[in-house]
Structure 1
Amino acid sequence: MAIPPLPRSRTRHASGAALGLLLAVLGLVAPPAASAVLDPVAYDPGAIEKSVVQLYIEWSGAVGYDGDHGEVVWLQEPVAYGSSCSGVFVTASAHIATAGHCVDNSDPATIGNELAAAYLRSQGNTEEQVEQKIGYMWYDETTITRTVYAYQNESLQGAVLPARGLVTEVVAFQNLDQGDNALLRVTGFTEPTPALPVRAGAAAVGDRVTAIGFPALVGTVSEAGRQRASFKSGEVSSVQTWSSGVAFVEISAAVSAGMSGGPVVDGNGEVVGCVSFGPGNGQAFNFATTDLDGFLLTHGVDPASAETLQPVPVQPRTATAG
């Protein structure tokens, strides 16, 4: 049985809610998570964390239901729901890499069902009632919109994005069968962005890696607007090729929902791919994308070089007499 994409962290609400409320529902931050040491060179976790961003994807569209006489009764206002992912700056020009499934709008039926379910939940229906009533709901795929916001914890040293979020443009994305990479760019942003270097070539079995992102469960116990990235260590367990010919890297880092699209970095601090799919419940069995470097170059983006991340000098320890 195929393993589905790692779930995006989802929040659902009726349309018209302010973005600030949406972000609060996501639960932005907890105390800083324990940071993994990146082998074989010691790096300041803050030098990496300032490059990692949270993403909020708002989906909106017209929803209706069956009337008493067989007609469709359309709601006066669009309905919206949201999902959250992670991403990473890969250039100094506000380009962000993430997972393609985070922003994939190629299947309006799935989005329409989520919109209909969001409306039913907003009316106080239980999950069982939603299942029963969803078949009597309608959606208009021509009205579906997608808005992607990128944001960071403003108190993090080196962060450049506000916690209220800035709109990003979806430059390109691949669906899961194509590779699950995506390229975003923060709209109208001129300040230099702290990019992580992208590794040219695939990771090898046995390489130590660290997956970085924002787990949804951490967000539930975090102070809104102040979530710190979680660092989950592991290694490359295998490189697997799908029937479509696309390769994915199996990693033993225990990632979970909300970390989709977050960077997976090697011991040199270079991004080898983005968190893609797995069981989604924190098991140490997940997959990351490959050929991120090639995907970016295909779309005219030259990713940051390895010189953008400098190692922290390791001071020798001094023995004390007595």
Structure 2
Amino acid sequence: MLSKIQNQFQSLLIISALLSATLPITPAKSQTIDFPQKPLQNNSKQPEKLSQANLVAEDVKPSVVRVAVGCKAKVYSPINGKIYELEQITSYGSGFFVNPNGYITTNAHVTKTEDCQQIFQEDLAAQLSSDGQTLANVEAELKWIETKPIQLVYLPNQEQLPFEIINSGAIAGEGKDISIIKINVINAPTLKLAESSQVKLLDSVTVVGYPGLVENSSLFNDESFYEASFTRGQVSAKKNLKDGTPILQITAPVPKGNSGGPVLNENGEVIGLVTFGPDDNFTFLFTSNTIQEFLDSAKVNNQQGLVNQEYRQGLQLYRQGNYTQALQKFQVVKRLFPQHSEVKIYLDKCQQIVTNGN
């Protein structure tokens, strides 16, 4: 174990890298999430049992976000002099960080907004009716004085941030259904893109995303809306669209709302993102290599930074029962990326154990 002075020196080195540490990666056949297996000195408390699959899930979870689009509008009625303010989220999807500077990948159909005037027909009619008017009678006189899209990313820590579209294709059948968007954060935890041409039939896969059932049901509490779901399956086919774009087919259950969410290999790398299918159990993916095309076009690198490194090491130290060292790692993660959804849980666990002298 390092001496106290060495620990302090190491912490200073880490903190000095807060604003600059991003490590470029290149998709490769053998990339893995590296959880070191070197044994370290344990505290007396029995370590919490975390399997390799658990570690991968904990590592991936903070990188997966919910994407929401909708409309805001103001409509003026000269008949009664009122301004009607309208706002509605029309659809949700999923996405994931691919670069620490807030770049996110999702589907083009997830970020596509609809005609605001069409969206608000029913809502506007209801408001007019409460004022003793009918939409059919006054529609020609209405003035749409403001319409603008709502574009939001919901982070797993429940923070909501506006996004801008950096590079976008078209919905499946009309083009490549990929969209690169950006929010205003730094040091975000990201996912690696695998080399999708190396994917084989019957490879095991894990799908991560936000099923729509949660926001449409009154059975769940508010926190569940921000909790990503994991499902597992296999690669069942490798196909191509009419324009030659490669597509992967998987067997994992993928309910509505998961569109744009990452599909991972056993190493936690992204092989593609959920895109389309006739039902929840018959799903097709646009591949990670197609995602890379859009990143290259936007001049965005698929990178991982110090947050990924420190959090991953912290999880491993926690798994081995080295709570004091794990606590230091998690503290760095919290300073680098305060929006990290999982690190506070581990900070609290480590702090309690260390405070109790275990």
TM-score, length basis structure 1: 0.65
Within 2, Cα distance between the matches of 1:259 and 1:117? 27
Which residue number corresponds to residue 106 of structure 2?
98
Judged with a 3 Å threshold, the aligned counterparts in structure 2 of structure 1 residues 243 and 253 are, in CA distance, closer, same or farther, namely same
Note if 1:229 corresponds to 2:224.
no
Which residue number corresponds to residue 278 of structure 2?
279
Judged with a 3 Å threshold, the aligned counterparts in structure 2 of structure 1 residues 141 and 179 are, in CA distance, closer, same or farther, namely farther
Note if 1:183 corresponds to 2:180.
yes
Question: Which of residues 203, 222, 227 in structure 2 aligns to 1:207?
Answer: 203
Judged with a 3 Å threshold, the aligned counterparts in structure 2 of structure 1 residues 284 and 63 are, in CA distance, closer, same or farther, namely farther
Within 2, Cα distance between the matches of 1:305 and 1:164? 22
Within 2, Cα distance between the matches of 1:137 and 1:169? 32
Which residue number corresponds to residue 116 of structure 1?
121
Note if 1:171 corresponds to 2:188.
no
Given that residues 99 and 260 in structure 1 are in contact (C-alpha distance below 8 angstroms), is that contact kept between their aligned partners in structure 2?
A: yes
Which residue number corresponds to residue 261 of structure 2?
262
Give how far 1:197 is off: 0.3
Give how far 1:123 is off: 7.8
Name the SS for the 1:276 alignment partner.
strand
Superposed CA offset, 1:261-320 (max 9, x none): 11111122111121111235xx3101111211222112111113699586987x9xxxxx
Q: Which runs of 5+ in 1 are unaligned?
A: 1-36, 125-132, 155-162, 316-322
Within 2, Cα distance between the matches of 1:289 and 1:74? 50
Which residue number corresponds to residue 247 of structure 2?
248
Given that residues 76 and 83 in structure 2 are in contact (C-alpha distance below 8 angstroms), is that contact kept between their aligned partners in structure 1?
A: no
**Structure with bigger gyration radius:** 2
Note if 1:76 corresponds to 2:83.
yes
Note if 1:194 corresponds to 2:189.
yes
Judged with a 3 Å threshold, the aligned counterparts in structure 2 of structure 1 residues 95 and 63 are, in CA distance, closer, same or farther, namely same
Give how far 1:101 is off: 0.4
Give how far 1:231 is off: 0.6
Name the SS for the 2:247 alignment partner.
strand
Higher helix proportion (structure 1 or 2) = 2
AA of the residue aligned to 2:70: E
Which residue number corresponds to residue 151 of structure 2?
148
Bigger drift between 239-248 and 249-258 goes to 239-248
Give how far 1:77 is off: 2.9
AA of the residue aligned to 2:246: A
Identity %: 23
Which residue number corresponds to residue 70 of structure 2?
58
AA of the residue aligned to 2:150: T
Name the SS for the 2:163 alignment partner.
strand
Give how far 1:244 is off: 3.5
Within 2, Cα distance between the matches of 1:306 and 1:164? 21
Q: Which runs of 5+ in 2 are unaligned?
A: 1-50, 130-134, 320-358
Within 2, Cα distance between the matches of 1:140 and 1:302? 45
Given that residues 54 and 150 in structure 1 are in contact (C-alpha distance below 8 angstroms), is that contact kept between their aligned partners in structure 2?
A: yes
Within 2, Cα distance between the matches of 1:114 and 1:292? 31
Give how far 1:76 is off: 2.9
Which residue number corresponds to residue 130 of structure 1?
none
AA of the residue aligned to 2:200: A
Number of matched pairs? 250
Superposed CA offset, 1:137-162 (max 9, x none): 789999542222222332xxxxxxxx
Which residue number corresponds to residue 33 of structure 1?
none
Q: Which has the higher contact order (CA 8 A, sep 6+)?
A: 1
AA of the residue aligned to 2:206: T
Within 1, Cα distance between the matches of 2:254 and 2:143? 35
Superposed CA offset, 1:163-213 (max 9, x none): 1411112112111222111111113x23x1000101233433322211110
AA of the residue aligned to 1:233: R
CA RMSD of aligned residues (A): 3.9
